[in-house]
Amino acid sequence: MPAKMFSDGEMVMGRWPGSQLYYEVRVTGYNKSTQLYAVKYKDGTELNLKESDVKPLNYFKTKKRSISRQRSRSRSRSPARTQTPKRSTSRGREAKKPVQKEEVQKKDPPTTKFIHQLQENSTNSKTTPVTDFKEEKEENNTKKTYRVVEHKIRREIVTDQLGVPYSLRTKKEEGKVVELETKDDHLYIKKQVARTPEWEFGGRFGAFFIIFFLPITLVLLLLMCAQEDASVVNFPPPIPAVQTLWSSTALGIFVLWFLFQALLYLLPVGKIVDGVPLANGKKLQYRINAFYAFLLCGAALAAALYNEVNLSYIHNNLLQLAISAMVFSLVLSIYLYLRSWHVPTDELAAGGNSGSFVYDFFIGRELNPRIKNFDLKYFCELRPGLMGWVVINLGLLFAEMEMQQRDVPSLAMILVNSFQLLYVMDALWNEEAILTTMDIVHDGFGYMLAFGDLVWVPFVYSLQAFYLVNHPNELTWPVALTIIALNTVGYIIFRGANSQKNAFRRNPHDPKLAHLKTIPTATGRSLIVSGWWGFVRHPNYLGDLIMALAWSLPCGFNHIIPYFYIIYFTCLLVHREARDEHQCRKKYGVAWNKYCQQVRYRIFPYVY
Ligand code: NDP
């Protein structure tokens, strides 16, 4: 066990996680097993830091050369280095095997510039009390850091800043091993994503269960909804002959729909934006043109209706279409799993590399699978499934008119169609916002998302409209207006919360957001603690759930099937909130705890 370098109570310089900034901190403890120092910043923030992120108080006043050596050594970090006994003083540390002269000379210019920056930042930290720490200041410093760093070491810093939010967890938990090597005066970073340390969804057994449970549930729901008496008491519904479940035409239509959407995605219209920085320091680019695609789809649909294409086909073959989508998503998931073995390890999702075939197949191994510039996950998230949902709803609206011999659709059907159309259009209009969601940033692309995006969303979310085709529910205007008001309230909360967070994440210094109270975090990003995000910790989920209720109410209270969506969605969002909370606690540590203390309820005020 290496000796501890700093003693309890000692004032040292502690690195501010996620940045290159060092602040004065007091050592409050040392954990021998994790080899992490507990330190306290002047603002009271307490973190656990790796030894390499703790420097003696006079560290930045030492000669540049010796610091440069220090950095050169730390770059040569490899698993073997952990065997090297550590010295107990900083002087002893500098006495470590000297770096070859030639190497130092070659590396000195960029490194020295970088150290100047550290000194500058360190000085700043002394003149500016940590309690006055502002995200702006750190962002400015971060920008300065970027400017001075030459290309040879840039990758390392970017990776350090963005890839490994180290200080908030143990090395084991980080799930990532960074190995630095020097070769021909260039630094190469070998980034190896270690095995996924934490399993979600009940691990491999849970994943195995869900893979089969979801398709079976969907088939049963569609069969039950199609029954004259759609009661759960009538369970199980009669199962049709297997051969009637399959239709090559339905598969052909689904594939054509997918390809049509892909074609629209490739249209060179719409701006191109950067995604969030990846763990390897890269940023992917995305074209924002989903709303254009939607308008073109609308035009194509109008043309089809003008040419008397009968959209009731959708109702008559809903089960076959759903099964085609299932087969398609299964094939896609197999492809995604196989190709994930041919990509660099730093392109894998941190959560999808458990080593269990079933689990990784379900969660998704590769984070951003792309065929050239075609991003499969981003494409599937919003387009074939979401727009497919609108088309299915429309088909069911025509089916209702046909089945119930109406000249116009029922008020209930109009409400369901309009509410859900608004929801989809909102998602497409705000397409850019999806780039910061958990699905894009955190989850790999595997069966879970492929099935969710392509099958579950279009075929389960249209359940209310499907129900109304065979189970008319006449609404009075006062009831309809009450439901509209409910949906409006839900939408205002949902949109207000999402827009507020997106605007804040895009530009925390936007004068329009100046009224918001925030908590600084160790990563340099702040958490909003007033406005929508001070109401509950997930106001956007609350709004979404209120809307979900408004979508079900037009179906009346005769059966529970149209309420399946809100029941399922509540479970999904409660679970999703727990996942997000877990990620945020790892990311933001103490600051997240402070946020939770100030904003006590997760989704439902005074309830949960
Ligand atoms: P959110 O949009 O809620 O994003 C969560 C992230 O927001 C956190 O990881 C954190 O990331 C950031 N954050 C959390 N609290 C704060 C705060 N106080 N201040 C600033 N940032 C904060 O996540 P989702 O991707 O789950 O949801 C996006 C939308 O999609 C929601 O409206 C949801 O209802 C909807 N949705 C709909 C589904 C459907 O099937 N219809 C399914 C799933 C979601 P960071 O700090 O890194 O920015």
Same domain, 455 and 490: no
Average pLDDT over residues 293-303: 95
Q: Output the pLDDT for position 171.
A: 37
Whether ligand 1 lies within 6 angstroms of the CB of 498 is answered as yes
Same domain, 456 and 479: no
Same domain, 182 and 231: no
Distance CA 133, CA 130 (A): 5
For residue 578, give every residue at least 6 positions away whose Cβ sits within 8 Å of its Cβ, in sequence order, or none: none
**pLDDT at 546 > cutoff 80:** yes
Among the residue ranges 374-388, 446-460, 463-477, 522-536, the one predicted with the least confidence is 522-536
Q: pLDDT tens digit string along 474-517?
A: 999 999 999 999 999 999 999 999 989 888 887 888 888 888 88
Same domain, 274 and 143: no
Same domain, 43 and 155: no
Mean of per-residue pLDDT scores for the chain: 78
Same domain, 316 and 406: yes
Distance CA 422, CA 424 (A): 6
Residue 386 maps to a domain = yes
For residue 101, give every residue at least 6 positions away whose Cβ sits within 8 Å of its Cβ, in sequence order, or none: none
Distance 431 CA to ligand 1 centre (A): 14
Same domain, 490 and 406: no
- Answer yes or no: are the C-beta atoms of 191 and 176 closer than 8 Å: yes
Task: Name the pLDDT band for 319 (thresholds 50, 70, 90).
Answer: very high
Mark which of 171, 192, 213 sits at the end of a domain. 192
Whether ligand 1 lies within 6 angstroms of the CB of 347 is answered as no
Q: Output the pLDDT for position 550.
A: 96
Distance 527 CA to ligand 1 centre (A): 12
Q: Output the pLDDT for position 68.
A: 37
Residue 217 maps to a domain = yes
Q: Output the pLDDT for position 584.
A: 87
**Which atom number of ligand 1 is nearest to the Cα of residue 595?**
18
Residue 85 maps to a domain = no
Max mean pLDDT among 171-185, 224-238, 545-559 falls in: 545-559
Model confidence, pTM: 0.71
For residue 459, give every residue at least 6 positions away whose Cβ sits within 8 Å of its Cβ, in sequence order, or none: 218, 222, 318, 321, 322, 325, 392
Q: pLDDT tens digit string along 409-437?
A: 999 999 999 999 999 999 999 998 888 88
CA-nearest residue, atom 22 of ligand 1: 527
Distance CA 37, CA 2 (A): 13
In three-state secondary structure terms, 365 is coil
Distance 200 CA to ligand 1 centre (A): 18
The HSE-up count of residue 583 (CA atoms within 13 Å, CB side) is: 16
Q: pLDDT tens digit string along 372-393?
A: 989 999 999 999 999 999 999 9
Same domain, 432 and 537: no
The range of the structural domain enclosing residue 42 comes to 11-59
Q: Output the pLDDT for position 174.
A: 38
Residue 66 maps to a domain = no
Q: Output the pLDDT for position 151.
A: 37
Mark which of 131, 158, 192 sits at the end of a domain. 192
Q: Output the pLDDT for position 484.
A: 97
**Which atom number of ligand 1 is nearest to the Cα of residue 452?**
40
| pLDDT > 70: percent of the chain | 76
Q: Output the pLDDT for position 18.
A: 59
**pLDDT at 185 > cutoff 70:** no
**Which atom number of ligand 1 is nearest to the Cα of residue 545?**
34
- Answer yes or no: are the C-beta atoms of 291 and 429 closer than 8 Å: yes
Distance 437 CA to ligand 1 centre (A): 6
Residue 72 maps to a domain = no
Average pLDDT over residues 564-579: 92
- Answer yes or no: are the C-beta atoms of 395 and 389 closer than 8 Å: no
Distance 354 CA to ligand 1 centre (A): 25
Q: What DSSP state is assigned to residue 127? A: H
Residue 64 maps to a domain = no
Distance 418 CA to ligand 1 centre (A): 24
Q: Output the pLDDT for position 482.
A: 96
Task: Name the pLDDT band for 208 (thresholds 50, 70, 90).
Answer: very high
Task: Name the pLDDT band for 282 (thresholds 50, 70, 90).
Answer: confident
Max mean pLDDT among 6-15, 140-149, 306-315 falls in: 306-315
Average pLDDT over residues 22-51: 79
Distance 123 CA to ligand 1 centre (A): 37
Number of domains composing the chain: 4
**pLDDT at 226 > cutoff 60:** yes
Q: Output the pLDDT for position 320.
A: 95
Residue 150 maps to a domain = yes
Q: Output the pLDDT for position 337.
A: 96
Residue 139 CA, distance from chain mean position: 22
Beta bridge partners of 177: 192
Same domain, 319 and 420: yes
Residue 541 maps to a domain = yes
Average pLDDT over residues 339-360: 88
Mark which of 162, 192, 222 sits at the end of a domain. 192
Whether ligand 1 lies within 6 angstroms of the CB of 64 is answered as no
Average pLDDT over residues 529-546: 93
Average pLDDT over residues 324-343: 95
Q: Output the pLDDT for position 390.
A: 96
**Which atom number of ligand 1 is nearest to the Cα of residue 525?**
46
**pLDDT at 573 > cutoff 70:** yes
Same domain, 440 and 510: no
**Which atom number of ligand 1 is nearest to the Cα of residue 534?**
18
Go through 96-129 and write b for each residue having 16 or more CB atoms within 10 A of its CB, e for each that does not: eeebeeeeeebbbebbbebbebbbbbbebbeeee
Same domain, 565 and 459: no
Same domain, 523 and 585: yes
Among the residue ranges 65-74, 349-358, 506-515, the one predicted with the least confidence is 65-74
